[in-house]
Structure 1
Amino acid sequence: MRTVLANQLSNVRVVSTDGREVGTLQNITLDTATGELQTIVINSEVQEIFGVERDSDGDIRLPASLIESKRDHLTIQPPTEQSVAGGDTVDS
């Protein structure tokens, strides 16, 4: 995977591989010990995407493991129920 600077991700359009317009990337969370991306924080007009509802800040938080690629937009794979409901998400 190529290197992408964090400032290149701010306000990038997020779409899913099944063609859904998800929203705009607002932020990311990472594990400071390992540097591993944990969560992508998406600003979205929709109330929920992939069964995940907006949080109290109005954002949708999805596991970073869903990222497929980054070009002029961020492409994410629709999650399985396990990857969203399981341990891949991070509490806000």
Structure 2
Amino acid sequence: MTTILASTLSDTPVMGSDGTEIGTVHNITMNVETGELQRLLVTPTIDNVRRFDTNDDGKIIVPASCMSDIDDYLIVDLTRR
């Protein structure tokens, strides 16, 4: 995956590896000791979010291990879930 500043991820569109538009990046969680990205919170733009874990506010939780690439969209590899 390309190295980018975490601050540039806000409002980035998120797409599944199957081409489904999932939502936009709302927030990120990082390990403060290592700087490693742990997960994203995504504001959903799809109605059926049941295939994803969500928090109490309905944001989709995407583990860093599922992120596969970023360009115009942040791509989430749905087979890694």
Q: Which residue number corresponds to residue 36 of structure 1?
A: 36
Q: CA deviation at 1:58?
A: 2.0
TM-score scaled by structure 2? 0.83
Structure 2: unaligned runs, 5 residues or longer: none
TM-score scaled by structure 1? 0.75
Q: Which residue number corresponds to residue 76 of structure 1?
A: 76
**Which amino acid in 1 is paired with 2:77?**
Q
What SS does the corresponding residue of 1:23 show, helix, strand or coil? strand
Higher RCO structure (Cα 8 Å, ≥6 apart): 2
**Which amino acid in 1 is paired with 2:58?**
G
Mapping 1:1-92, distance limit 5 Å: 1-45=1-45, 46-48=47-49, 51-80=51-80, 83=81
Conserved? CA contact 1:24–1:42, under 8 Å: yes
Find the aligned partners of 1:54 and 1:29 in 2 and give their Cα distance.
Answer: 14
Find the aligned partners of 1:71 and 1:52 in 2 and give their Cα distance.
Answer: 22
Find the aligned partners of 1:12 and 1:27 in 2 and give their Cα distance.
Answer: 10
Can you list the C-alpha shifts for 1:21-46, whole angstroms capped at 9, x where unaligned? 11001111011111111111100033
Q: CA deviation at 1:8?
A: 1.4
Q: CA deviation at 1:53?
A: 4.1
Q: Which residue number corresponds to residue 87 of structure 1?
A: none
Structure 1 residue runs of 4 or more that deviate by more than 6 Å after TM superposition: none
Find the aligned partners of 1:36 and 1:7 in 2 and give their Cα distance.
Answer: 14
